[in-house]
């Protein structure tokens, strides 16, 4: 690896000053065409590439926005299925990148390490003009400090917990609305009367909002529910979902006519357990999820769920950042709620849509 040429090398070779070289890259029109050509030629011959670091340092801007996301451990999915299971973070990344590209920004992504997110923010923050953070990724305190220096937008993904710093921009999805609509569908269109909600132990805002939507729908339909979910799970995994289904089946009294899960993973786990027990979905019991992960389409019966627009969330995050960047961060904090949509599939008794061709 040879030492990289600098503006000085190019300038000397082209017989101009370094300022001219700089101009050729920043404002080509401010340089006479013939001069520009000479500079460009010299640069090409030398293999010159402007140092992003030096530029960033001198101009106080990088042309890069960032994303911090949690270390999702290894995807719960079997390795076989590795590339089918698209994680939230992947979708958000895609959305952010796409929008960033349109605005001429590149995207820097970094996940917290399993151990601690120590230094994650610092690492990213030091190299970008602004960034998005998936909730629960970094300590609130760190964000507090950094958001005074650059735009930060909080992404309330699924299963989050942190109280939001109220001066940050913030994007979330309509958890309550989605669960409400889905539940109403079960109650009104499928005549469900004894739905069981399966939530989590630690009440994250998202899961709480979903439960609220569930209860509201029940109340509206005159269906009785307690103030508590039928069950609370420690983690929202397939295993836990399967165990939840087992518990519900074995508990005394009448079997609920619908298992309403707080996410898709657990619902899929339940599907498996119910099949093992020889129970039919949706005939014996309806099962629904939340999130709309790809797997929800693949399972049989296909899972009725609430789809979250994660790609869109990424795009919105970028748009928000770019706007802040061009307005120097002025203006009130924005809080945006993205709409969700209910996917009515076979697990609630709706006709399954044909796979897209």
Interface with DNA (CB under 7 A): 3-4, 6-8, 15-20, 22-23, 25-26, 30-32, 34-36, 48-51, 54-55, 57-60
> Own/partner pairs for 31-37, CB < 8 Å, 24+ apart?
none
Identify what 6 binds: DNA, a copy of itself, none; CB under 5 to 8 Å per kind: DNA
- Residue 50 C-beta: closest distance to DNA, Å: 4
- Residue 46 C-beta: closest distance to DNA, Å: 10
Cis peptide before 170 (omega within 30 of 0): no
Residue 193 contacts a copy of itself per CB under 8 A: no
Tokens of 268: 């899929």
Residue 311 contacts a copy of itself per CB under 8 A: yes
How far does Cα 333 stand from its chain's mean position?
20
Select 18 or 338, whichever has its Cβ closest to DNA. 18
Identify what 78 binds: DNA, a copy of itself, none; CB under 5 to 8 Å per kind: a copy of itself
CB neighbours of 19 closer than 8 A, spacing ≥ 6?
Answer: none
Count of chain residues binding a copy of itself (CB under 8 A)? 73
- Residue 18 C-beta: closest distance to DNA, Å: 5
CB neighbours of 188 closer than 8 A, spacing ≥ 6?
Answer: 221
Identify what 19 binds: DNA, a copy of itself, none; CB under 5 to 8 Å per kind: DNA
Q: Rounded to whole angstroms, how far apart are CA atoms 218 and 14?
A: 76
- Residue 94 C-beta: closest distance to a copy of itself, Å: 6
Coil, helix or strand for 327? Answer: coil
The CB-side HSE value for 130 (13 A sphere, CA atoms) comes to: 24
DSSP strand pairing (106-111 vs 64-69): parallel
Q: Rounded to whole angstroms, how far apart are CA atoms 122 and 107?
A: 16
Residue 167 contacts a copy of itself per CB under 8 A: no
Tokens of 114: 């399993």
Select 86 or 337, whichever has its Cβ closest to a copy of itself. 86
- Residue 60 C-beta: closest distance to DNA, Å: 6
For a copy of itself, the binding residue among 6, 12, 35, 106 (CB under 8 A) is 106
For a copy of itself, the binding residue among 15, 37, 82, 277 (CB under 8 A) is 82
- Residue 336 C-beta: closest distance to DNA, Å: 31
Residue 190 contacts a copy of itself per CB under 8 A: no
Footprint of a copy of itself on 13-52 (CB under 8 A) = 44, 47, 49-52
Helix and strand totals (H; E) in the chain: 14, 12
| Element of type H or E holding 48 | none
Residue 74 CB neighbours (<10 A): 9
Residue 357 contacts a copy of itself per CB under 8 A: yes
Q: Rounded to whole angstroms, how far apart are CA atoms 132 and 196?
A: 35
Footprint of a copy of itself on 224-263 (CB under 8 A) = none
- Residue 199 C-beta: closest distance to DNA, Å: 44
């Amino acid at each position: 690896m040879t030492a990289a040429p600098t503006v000085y090398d190019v300038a000397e070779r082209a017989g101009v000053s370094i300022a001219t070289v700089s101009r050729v890259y920043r404002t080509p029109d401010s340089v006479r065409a013939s001069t520009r050509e000479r500079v460009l030629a010299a640069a090409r011959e030398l293999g010159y590439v402007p140092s992003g670091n030096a530029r960033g340092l001198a101009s106080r801007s990088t042309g890069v926005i960032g994303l911090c996301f949690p270390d999702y451990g290894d995807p719960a999915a079997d390795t076989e299925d590795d590339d089918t299971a698209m994680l939230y973070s992947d979708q958000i990344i895609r959305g952010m990148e796409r929008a960033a590209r349109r605005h001429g920004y590149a995207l820097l992504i970094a996940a917290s390490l399993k151990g601690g997110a120590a230094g994650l923010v610092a690492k990213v923050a030091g190299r970008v003009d602004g960034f998005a953070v998936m909730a629960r990724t970094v300590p609130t305190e760190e964000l507090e400090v950094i958001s005074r220096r650059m735009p930060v937008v909080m992404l309330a993904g699924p299963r989050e917990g942190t109280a939001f710093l109220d001066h940050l921009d913030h994007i979330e999805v309509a958890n309550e609305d989605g669960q409400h609509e889905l539940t109403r569908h079960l109650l009104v269109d499928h005549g469900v009367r004894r739905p069981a909600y399966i939530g989590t132990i630690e009440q994250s805002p998202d899961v709480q909002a979903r439960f609220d939507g569930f209860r509201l729908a029940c109340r509206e339909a005159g269906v009785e529910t307690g103030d508590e979910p039928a069950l609370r799970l420690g983690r929202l995994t397939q295993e836990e979902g399967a165990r939840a289904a087992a518990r519900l089946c074995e508990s005394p009294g009448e079997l609920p006519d619908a298992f309403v899960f707080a996410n898709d993973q657990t619902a899929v786990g339940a599907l498996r357990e119910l099949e093992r027990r020889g129970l039919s979905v949706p005939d014996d019991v309806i099962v629904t999820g939340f999130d709309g992960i790809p797997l929800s389409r693949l399972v049989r019966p296909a899972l009725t769920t609430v789809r979250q627009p994660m790609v869109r969330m990424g795009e919105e995050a970028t748009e928000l950042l770019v706007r802040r960047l061009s307005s120097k961060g002025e203006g009130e904090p924005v809080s945006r709620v993205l709409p969700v949509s209910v996917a009515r599939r076979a697990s609630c008794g709706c006709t399954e849509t044909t796979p897209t061709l």
